[in-house]
Each structure stands twice: as structure tokens, then as C-alpha cells.
Amino acid sequence: MIRTCLFFFLATINVIHTQNSIGLRALATLRGLTLGSEAPVAYLRGDADMGQYISMLKQNIDLIIPASAFMPTHTWMNENQYNFTDTDWLVGSTPNTTGWIQQNRMLVKAHALIWGKDYRVPTWLLEQEASITPAKALSLLSDFIHTIAGRYRGKIYWWNVINEAISDHNQTTAFNLENSFWYRKLGADYIKYAFIFAREADPNVKLFYNEYSIEHGGYKADNTLALLKWLKSEGVSVDGLGMQWHISTTEVITPGDAHYQIAQQFIDLNLLVAITELDVGMKTNGAYPADPNDFIKQAQIYRSMFQYALHFYPNISSVATWGFTDRYSFVSTSSNYTRGNALTLDCQYQPKPAFWEVQEELGRVLADGLYKISPISQPDHCLGTTSNNTNSTLQLYADSCKNTNEQWNVTWQKDGTYRFSPQNTIESALNAYNASITIGQVGTTQWTGDTNQEWVITPKGNDTFRLGPRNAWWRVLTVYNASIIAIVDDRQSDLQYWTLTMI
């Protein structure tokens, strides 16, 4: 179903972009981040919107959270009875088979083995609760987790083992846990056992606890900290904490504030932290924003979220949104259309201001200007063209590097990439040829704005950068055989890193 949402005219808020973005997936990967989104299996299997859904997903996302597909209410039909139709299609039913995820070179986060709330416990379990002893409940828990996590062993990037177990209201339970079926049968130990069984079922998968309304600290965050400390003290294998981040345009995230402080407390427990369900809703009248300026506020918040993730990297290396287009966001329907427009793409899959701000944060890592470019392996040399013609080959020069053919204008293209133009022929640009073959070529040609003339830049510290062609962004510009400039696979070698010094 296509939910009602806003088709808005960006000119009304003075933000217009027509650039063909390289996509957030490439830029996030180059910064070391895994970028995820909730994506229901039904939309993938049904090729929603004549392929546009999958096309935009693959351009901007590399980690899929398949909504309810792995949830016990979807897979656990009764004792020893399971429905694996969607999950088998997604990842393959046996170790030697593949599913949509592998075929599209993506990752999957399975969400979630156990929920802390009764409304996500299978109905048949609740109906039989009176006759189920604690010993039987433990056996059922073990059977379910070993069955589903074991079936997909080695195919899941991470499991949310426990989801939303801590109550929003004061309880008399340990760690203020929800008084759910599993707590009534096993107490807080159900969480411990769930992690133990998940680790037994898949020794190498990442295991996370996932919770909402803890990103700013406070009572619920304190209980989450206490729970995770207890699990650690019990020797339980917990790899990380997922913070959901369902927030609004009133949120302010500033370095050093409560958001940063609580994240650091979880990191100090030797836990990974992940942003797992980010959306930034705004007040709406039906589908329309109550204040059009909220699009700018939203954009600033999205950018600050990626600044937050990069600040804590590698302890935070994953950012996932709950959906990626307003066309299929739950925010509007769950709030009776009083909030909405919460994601980075609008209903027509067009980038919103938030998209462009995230792109800038991930991709714009160097100020426009005139630069000398030197390989780390030969810092006394600089990159230059061999002629004053528009079409030229390249070489390394060992001189003062003050000649115009040894100086480069570096310009942000507003699509996630840069243009490199030699100062001696400003109308030309660095160009990649056959960038995907074993040894790709590079030179300069007349600037036409083609994608093979655009480059991604990734910071490596100390004014050192990785340079890659847009049309093969996973590869790098390198010094090959001591003097040849070429494009090859990324081996993270000094031959493949460059110092860019502004002139």
C-alpha cells in the first residue's frame, strides 16, 4: 500500500539540487560505515514501484533490515512448526544456497529473535501460558533460537537478540523489564539465555540488544546500562547495543552533549553501538509540514547524526534508518498523520535537503582550491600532466612542483564527487579509462561532466587521502610499478594514498 505523503516543491525552501548523486552507499562504505534500512520482504519480492524501490535501495543502502520477516510472530507458528518462506527467499534455505541478499551483494540484520513485549509474542504461546512451566518455557526458547539462528548460520550480519525489553513505566521487575511472557516464566534470565542460545546457534554472528528512547540518556538508558553490565558480568556474549533514534525536528545533537555522553558509557562497556532505526519526523497537517522550515531543521539533524557516528567510529560503524523513502514510512500512519516526512527521500524517491546534507558530510572532505598531489610512497614527487594539451598522460615529477602542469584545481561537484583539473589546461579533467579492469588507465581529457571524470576522496588522516574513480569507486588511484599512474584494487598500501597540499 502506498501511504499518503508529501510531494513538495524544494524551491519553496530555497534548496534545489539536480545532480545525479553517486549514492550514499558508496560514500558511507568509503568512510567505513555500513548504511542500513528497514525493507519489507514484500517490497523486494514484489519489485515495488516497477523496480524503483530496489534501484534506489541498492544505490543508497548496503544493510537490509527485513521488517517482520524474522520475528517470532512471523516465523514461529507453533511448537516445532515454522514458516520460513520469506526468510529462505531472502538468504537461502541451506548453507549452500543463496537468496536475494547474497545475489545483490548486500548484508542482512535479522530483527528480532525475542521481543520484550507480549504483543510480539506468538499468540499460541500466550494462549497456552497457564500450562507452560518455566522448564518448558526454557526448552521452547532454546528450540526456537537454535532452529532459526542455526538455520541461517553464517548468513546473518547480526541478530537483534532482544528487542525493547525495558519498560517506559515504573515496574517492580529487575532492570525495569516489561512484565512479558518470557519474564513471567524465566525472570531476567530469559535475556541471558537468549544470548547464550544465539551464540551456540551461530558462533560468529554479531549479537545486539536493541532499545528505543535511550539515545539521550535518562532512566531508561540507566536501566539498559545496568542490564548490559549484568549480562557482561554473567559472561554472556553481547557484541553491541542498538539505539533506535526515532526522533523529531526538535532534537538537537551537539558534540559532548548527553547523546554523546551516554554513547560513550556504552562504549566503555566494550560494546559496539549502532544507530538502528533512525527517522526524523516533523509535525504535519495531513501529509503537509506544519512548518516548511522543518525540512532544513531535519537536514541539519541528519547531518549531525552522521557527525556523531563518525566521531565514535569504529565503535559506531553502522547507521540504519527505518525505511529510506517517505513513500513507505510508518511515521505518518503510526501518528495518525500528525507527524511524518521523516526520511531522506520523498514519496517520489527524490532526495530531500536531508539527503544532500548527509552526502556532504560523508563525501565533501576537502575544500575547493589549487593543490599539489604527492604519493605517500614518494613525498618528494608530485602528480602532473606530460603536456599542455587537453588530452594528456600523467607522470610523477621530482622538482619544485611549481609548474602549472603539476598543480590541480579540485572542485566539489555537489553529487558526492570531485573534479580534478590541471592548472595548465583548466578546461580538461582527470579521466578514468576502463576503471574496472585489472589495471585501469588514467589521464586528462576535455571536461564534459561524464562520470568517468568524477572522483571520490576519502580522508585517511594527516592530509592524506584515498582517490577513486566514481565509476569504480571501490578501486583506487595508485602508483603502479614505481612510476605508472593507474587504477587498481584497494590494498590500503602507501602506494595508493596521496597527500593533497593546498597551494
Kindly list the catalytic residues.
164, 277
Would you give the DSSP letter of residue 171?
-
Helix ranges restricted to H, 248-382: 258-267, 294-312, 330-334, 353-363
Give, in order, the Cα–Cα distances in Å from 114 to each of 75, 123, 348, 349: 12, 14, 35, 33
Query: Quick one: angle between helices 219-233 and 258-267, nearest 10?
Result: 10
Residues in Cβ contact with 181 at an 8 Å cutoff, skipping those fewer than 6 apart: 118, 121, 125, 126, 129, 137
Give me the residues paired with residue 243 across strands. Answer: 211, 275
Q: State how far the alpha carbon of 163 is from the alpha carbons of 210, 232, 244, in Å.
A: 5, 17, 10
Please list, in sequence order, all residues whose beta carbon lies within 8 angstroms of the beta carbon of residue 412, skipping any fewer than 6 positions away: 364, 366, 368, 418
Q: Let me know the angle formed at the C-alpha of 139 by 137 and 141, rounded to the nearest 5 degrees.
A: 70
Distance, CA of 354 to CA of 382 (rounded, Å) = 38
Contacts of 112 (CB under 8 A, 6+ apart): 70, 71, 159, 160, 161, 162, 163, 210
Taking CA atoms, 416 is separated from 22, 63, 363, 364, 459, in Å, by 6, 20, 5, 7, 14
Q: Which three cell numbers stand for residue 198?
A: 544465539
For residues 99 and 330, give the distance between their C-alpha atoms in angstroms, rounded to a whole number: 26
Q: 3-class DSSP state for residue 35? A: strand
**Residue type, position 216, single letter:** H
Q: What angle do CA 439, 372, 448 make, to 5 degrees?
A: 60
Q: For residues 396, 397, 398 and 403, what is the CA-based torsion angle, rounded to 10 degrees?
A: -150
- How far apart CA 371 and CA 376 sit, in angstroms, is 15
Give residues with Cβ within 8 angstroms of 155, minimum separation 6: 91, 92, 101, 102, 108
Q: Nearest Cα to 417, choosing from 432, 405, 398, 402? A: 432
